[in-house]
Structure 1
Amino acid sequence: MAKVNQNFDNLVPNYLFAEIAKRVNRYVAEHPDNHLIRLGIGDVTLPLAPVVVEAMKKGCDELGCKETFKGYPDYEGYGFLREAISGYYKRFGVTVDPDEIMVNDGAKSDAGNMGDIFSKDNIVLVTDPVYPVYVDANIMSGRKIIYADATPENGFCALPDPSVHADMIYLCSPNNPTGAAYTTEQLKAWVDYANENDAVIFYDAAYEAFITQDDVPRSIFAIEGARTCAIEMCSLSKTAGFTGTRCGYTVIPKELERDGKNIYQLWYRREATKFNGVSYPVQCAAAAVFSELGLQQIKENLSYYQENARVIAQTLDELRIPYTGGINSPYIWLQCPNGMGSWEFFDCLLHEIEVVGTPGEGFGKNGAGWFRLTSFGDKDKTIEAMERLKQMLKK
């Protein structure tokens, strides 16, 4: 008899966003004339930049000619894209060699799969609240997971406890869901802790393009010592609207080793076995993101979302509701008003003003009583949602 992975029994029965979808779909079925505004799941709403679309079209045209046709892509990604990514890092003072970059179909894939090359005996540390994939992927593998508390008292930026040992550490900055971002000093504390414990940091920098403050690093490799303890995962999903196009990249320094093994080589071997790469037209489109015109055009989209974040934050300031995020992040993490629980507040918003957000409890125990809103919606609808919120809470 084929036996199943019993670790799946330890997962939360319903994935957070699946539960949200179920409740929203039930409401829509009962209220077909609804006027829902969705500020929950962090999907983008603006189209791809024109230069990106043209590059993808050109890539498709090249596949239609024998002379320029491409078959299987390189496992690590085409050289022209890795060179472009390397050049992007130089813009904020970080040196990453093209040969240390692995192109993928989004940061979530590598965040969930990177554990394949590490022993199941490793102790995993995550911050709480936490992006669910870090926890779920390691539960599936049967690893022990410990938590570092991110709370209002530390600005939702958990710091390492020297008395606690961990082997694998997941950090996300700017953070999903809290919107909090580590300063250089705070991130240095994690790098020092990882090196002292021979641990590896899996650093999710999917939202680095939203950083505006000088003391918040765009990359963990801006921190001294990170090259001997860190892997960085990035994504074009939020930077350039690739949520449906699917492209990201992971940086593994060539000197990173553990247990006598080179981590880059292990990951390359894993990818060669389980992943056939990202399509040529998509990689062409991704490279266009990092061109001068591409960076200019995506900046316009980022500014649009940043203005939405400002509108949400301004509303919460007016209502005197505590929150984090919105400055270096597209997410705003707010304390549920009137002592409500996060699912209670979710249902209240859905049924009273037809606005959808994300309950904090879905991100861990420290998310209880907190709620995530995203700035990725339509500008006019974001303004309307905040007007509805003000009317509801000022009754």
Structure 2
Amino acid sequence: KQNDTVILFDAAYEGYISDPSLPRSIYEIEGARDCALELRSFSKRAGFTGVRCAFMVVPKTVMGMADGKRTPLNTLWARRHTTKFNGASYIVQRGAAAAYSPAGLAQANEQIAFYMENARLLREGLGGAGFTMFGGLHAPYIWLRTRDNASSWEFFDQLLTKAQVVGTPGAGFGPGGEGYFRLSAFNSRANIEEAIGRIKRVFA
């Protein structure tokens, strides 16, 4: 707000936050309603990847510029949305509504707990192989520091050729990701356990 800047906050993983002291929405932070827009996807919480459904919160107190004048972004967003977008298909809307029903929330939370247990197993197994790790506590991703100063793409090649395990080189996320490697907990328990075993056999 002090810098007259609008924050676009992606809360796609809010359902994975287990610590009640951590905010799940940017609007839990004082002043955010004057300078932030929040997006929430159904992809991570409800498995909607590929179905493409999300929603966005645009407070009427967030201001932008139009024709040289300050105006509420909510007004601009509503105009754009009602003139250039036909909306999600009916079946997708019904699925999205079901995801927030009591039964849908219970099923989604059960699925999230499953993936977070996968993340715990990854942390435990890779820690046993001597890797330095980050993450996997409030998101389903584990970040490893590569070995022997290898670049993230060099480590990708090592992991693929020696263990037949695929992950994401940190360099793909920008310069700050170089030297790191991301593994995902989004998989079956059997595949997670198999991947851990392969990595430990090669690198432990």
Place the TM-score, normalised by the shorter chain, in its bin: over 0.9
2-structure distance, mates of 1:361, 1:329: 19
Give the secondary structure class of the aligned counterpart of 1:202.
strand
The number of equivalent residue pairs is 200
Aligned residue runs from structure 1 range 278-289, under 5 A: 278-289=88-99
Long gaps (5+) in structure 1: 1-194
TM-score (norm 2): 0.94
Q: Name the counterpart of 2:60.
A: 254
2:10 is the alignment partner of 1:204:
yes
CA-CA distance at 1:375 after TM superposition: 0.6
CA-CA distance at 1:282 after TM superposition: 1.0
Residues 207-264 of structure 1 deviation map (CA, whole Å, 9 limit, x = unaligned): 1100011222100001110000000011010101000222111111111112311101
Contact 1:198 1:258 in 2 (8 A): no
2:46 is the alignment partner of 1:240:
yes
CA-CA distance at 1:274 after TM superposition: 3.1
1:379 aligned residue (189, 195, 200): 189
CA-CA distance at 1:319 after TM superposition: 2.3
CA-CA distance at 1:205 after TM superposition: 0.6
Q: Name the counterpart of 2:165.
A: 355
RMSD over equivalenced CA pairs, Å: 1.1
TM-score (norm 1): 0.49
CA-CA distance at 1:275 after TM superposition: 2.0
Aligned residue runs from structure 1 range 284-295, under 5 A: 284-295=94-105
AA at the equivalent of 2:133? Y
1-structure distance, mates of 2:96, 2:105: 11
1-structure distance, mates of 2:25, 2:155: 35
Give the secondary structure class of the aligned counterpart of 1:261.
strand
2-structure distance, mates of 1:351, 1:317: 21
2-structure distance, mates of 1:258, 1:269: 14
CA-CA distance at 1:272 after TM superposition: 3.0
Q: Name the counterpart of 2:175.
A: 365
Aligned residue runs from structure 1 range 90-239, under 5 A: 195-239=1-45
2-structure distance, mates of 1:275, 1:355: 41
Aligned residue runs from structure 1 range 6-17, under 5 A: none
2-structure distance, mates of 1:332, 1:273: 42
2-structure distance, mates of 1:390, 1:274: 52
2-structure distance, mates of 1:267, 1:214: 32
Residues 340-366 of structure 1 deviation map (CA, whole Å, 9 limit, x = unaligned): 110001111111111110000111111
Long gaps (5+) in structure 2: none
Percent same amino acid among aligned pairs? 48
Larger RCO (alpha carbons 8 Å, 6+ apart): 1
- Runs of 4 or more off by more than 4 Å in structure 1? none
1-structure distance, mates of 2:81, 2:186: 32
